[in-house]
Amino acid sequence: MAIESYRDQRPRLGRDVFVHPAATVVGDVELGDEASIWPGVVVRGDVNFIRIGARSNIQDSSVLHVTHRSQRDPLGAPLIIGRDVTVGHMVILHGCTIGDECLVGMGSLVMDKAVLEPRVLLGAGSLVPEGKVLQSGWLYLGRPAKQVRPLTPEELDYFAYHAANYAKLAAEYAARPAS
């Protein structure tokens, strides 16, 4: 696995974190307990910080990045992902905030300063434009993402189940003998 420092910032990993050997994690990145980073993922906290909460999973070939601080924008756009979040395959998250217990569908794109409040389901292939806020408890779909319907109790329960299942899978991968 490629875990690299940048500008004297080294990624910090919580307890039982799994980073696949084919993933890259660089710079000012913090991974919460039991978080998992899967093959082909790039987590690049070089010009701002990235925080990924406990039991969140970032699936294959996703790209996580940030926007630098500047005179025009002193905070820039860090990337903050809450706990128990599932980020599907080939997602791009750039300088946004993803609340606890969200699911970001495969191939989605979430731009700078967009916010997914806790417990949002963003359907596959969706685009969340810069600065847009997605309200908790709803399904969003499309390019640009539009509010479709409230989530069912079963869908809301699925967030924690899915995150726990990925934490279990990551523990199985971590326990395999080195090849």
Domain ranges of the chain: 2-175
pTM of the model: 0.96
- Is 108 within 8 Å of 124 (Cβ atoms)? yes
10-residue mean pLDDT profile of the chain (179 residues): values are 89 97 97 98 98 98 97 96 98 98 98 98 98 98 98 95 94 86
Nearest residue to 29 (alpha-carbon basis) of 89, 75, 17:
17
Whole-number pLDDT of residue 142: 98
State the CB neighbour count (10 A cutoff) for residue 68.
Answer: 11
Whole-number pLDDT of residue 1: 56
Helices (H), the chain: 153-175
Residue entry with tokens 């279990």: 168
CATH 2.160.10.10 fits 2-175, yes or no: yes
Whole-number pLDDT of residue 179: 65
Question: Alpha carbon 34 to chain centroid distance?
Answer: 14
